[in-house]
Amino acid sequence: MRYIHLPVWMEEVNRPRASTFAILFSLVAMARTLLLVVIPLQANESLDDVRQVSILYFAVSMVSLCGALAIPTLVHKLRRRWVFTVGAMAAVTGYGALMTGSLIGLVAGLTLQMFSISAMEITLNLYLMDHIPRKELTRFEPMRVFAGAAVWTGGPMLGVLLKTEFGPAAPYAAAVTAAVVALGYFWLLRFKEDPSVAPMKTPPPKPIRYIGHFFAQPRLRLAWALALGRSAWWSMFFIYAPIYVVRSGLGEQWSGAIVSVGMMMVFLVPVWGWVGRQIGLRRLLMTGYLLAGGMTVVVAVVAATPWLGVAALALAAFGASVIDGAGNVPFLRAVHPYERSEMTAVFSTFRDVGQLAPPGVFAILLKAFDLPAVFAAGGLAMMCLAFVSKFVPRRM
């Protein structure tokens, strides 16, 4: 019988591959998706006012944006593995705070959760760009999204079911468990560090100074704007769709169901990735933004009839899944290898701004209008991005 030495076996098992990253991204997403509907519903219950919910998300997202810009400094002073670990522990602490059910716990927990998302995803993207060739990124992005599709589809509904069947603390306990499992798997992989981002004695980088350099590059500026639109739409969907469903009288479980149905469209992402390679990302993005925007406007028009509104939301999510077929390829193809750390940190702010801008704008709208105005404004913004998409280079 042939024996395989443990070190050789471990090296083979832990060798970073596309599938390895897809699994890790999915594990990181698990904790987040369990609370995707639970947190907005908790905020709605605690504040009992959609405008106050918008103000809460705006304030927390502002703090989270500052935290995201500080991550390159942490990467410089620490190793990336420790920044990922800090992010995971922030998630665990935040979920514990949310479990208390208090308003202070809600604010603290939501802030820590948003910081943890930035810390873990920035470091994972840096590892990804070290190990996956640039030419393969177009194929990897749909794979990554598809691998997490089951998580994003089942997580929202499961989180609501845990809350209704086992009590308000149950989904948070499950999220803590998921975060710990993700951290354990990350350390099992034993990623090698790139010496260029290891701790150094020179002064740490100041990411704010890279913002101007980032937006001076047209392709990076375009990639950021398109990613922002996608992120902002999903942020609107995750926060306001559950609240719309509950306030329409359909119940909490239906709020989880509509988000899960919307995320079920993610299973189509590999198809859209293939379509994008055939017709080009430009046409793919224009189609997706136009469809998502148009159907979101329809939600506002038929809001008084909840079942029609829910159907329009599902069709809008279908359009958003078309956009997800492109993933972050416009950025990954445009960024220079020698400035990945700094540019990735700036690019990743699309997520924080995508969480920040919608509730900020909607807080102003909701002062004068009712909840349907949220969907009208979000839909029109997406339709504008359909026009912006025509500037994507033809060769992508």
CATH of domain 15-190+207-391: 1.20.1250.20
Q: Is the pLDDT of residue 56 over 80?
A: yes
Burial of 165 (0-12, 13-18, 19+ CB in 10 A): exposed
Residue whose entry in the numeric block shows the structure tokens 């994507």: 392
DSSP letter for 373, please.
Answer: H
Residue 372 near residue 158 (C-beta atoms within 8 A): no
Tell me how far apart the alpha carbons of residues 60 and 43 are, in angstroms, rounded to a whole number.
12
Q: Average pLDDT of 345-373?
A: 85
**pLDDT of res. 190:** 75
Distance (Å, whole) CA 145 – CA 131: 18
pLDDT confidence of residue 315: 92
Q: Tokens 């710990």 label which residue?
A: 180
Helix, strand or coil for residue 240? helix
Q: Name the residue type at position 91.
A: A
Q: How many helices (H) and strands (E) does the chain have?
A: 20, 0
Name, in order, each residue with C-beta under 8 angstroms of 2's C-beta and a sequence gap of 6 or more. none
- Reference 110, options 42, 207, 9; nearest CA is 42
DSSP 199: -
Tokens of 282: 């430009």
Q: Distances from the Cα of 264 to the Cαs of 125, 148, 257, 303, in angstroms?
A: 24, 10, 10, 22
CA-to-CA dists, residue 260 to 132, 192, 236, 273, 297, angstroms: 30, 36, 15, 21, 21
Residue 302 CB burial class (10 angstroms; 0-12, 13-18, ≥19): middle
Q: Could you tell me what percent of the chain has a pLDDT over 90? A: 26
Residue reference for tokens 């981002």:
197
Is the pLDDT reported for residue 279 higher than 90? Answer: no
Quote the pLDDT of residue 15. 56
Give the pLDDT band of residue 1 (cuts 50, 70, 90): very low
- If one compares 322 and 128, the residue with the highest pLDDT of the two is 322
Q: What is the pLDDT of residues 203-253, one digit of tens each?
A: 555 556 777 778 878 888 888 888 899 889 998 999 999 999 998 888 888
Is a pLDDT exceeding 80 seen at residue 140?
Answer: no
* Residue 200: pLDDT over 90: no
Of 14-18, 90-94, 380-384, the least confident: 14-18
The whole-number average pLDDT for the span 126-152 is 70
Q: pLDDT for 117-138, tens place per residue? A: 888 888 887 877 776 666 666 6
- The pLDDT of residue 267 is 78
pLDDT given for residue 301 in this prediction: 93
Q: Tell me the average pLDDT across 258-262.
A: 87
Listed by start position, the domains of the chain span 15-190+207-391
pLDDT (tens digit per residue) in 282-305: 888 889 999 999 999 999 999 889
Residue 90 has pLDDT above 50, yes or no: yes
Select from 136, 320, 137, 291 the least CA-distant residue to 226: 320
Report the pLDDT averaged over residues 350-372: 87
CA gap 396, 385 in Å, rounded: 17
Helices (H), 100-217: 103-131, 137-147, 149-166, 170-189, 208-215
How many residues are present in the chain? 396
pLDDT of residue 294: 94
d(CA 315, CA 306): 14
Q: CA 110 → CA 104, 106, 240, 387, distances in Å?
A: 10, 6, 16, 34
Half-sphere exposure of residue 83: CA atoms within 13 angstroms, side-chain side: 31
Residue 22: both structure tokens together: 């897809």
- For the cut 60, the answer to whether the pLDDT of residue 4 exceeds it is no
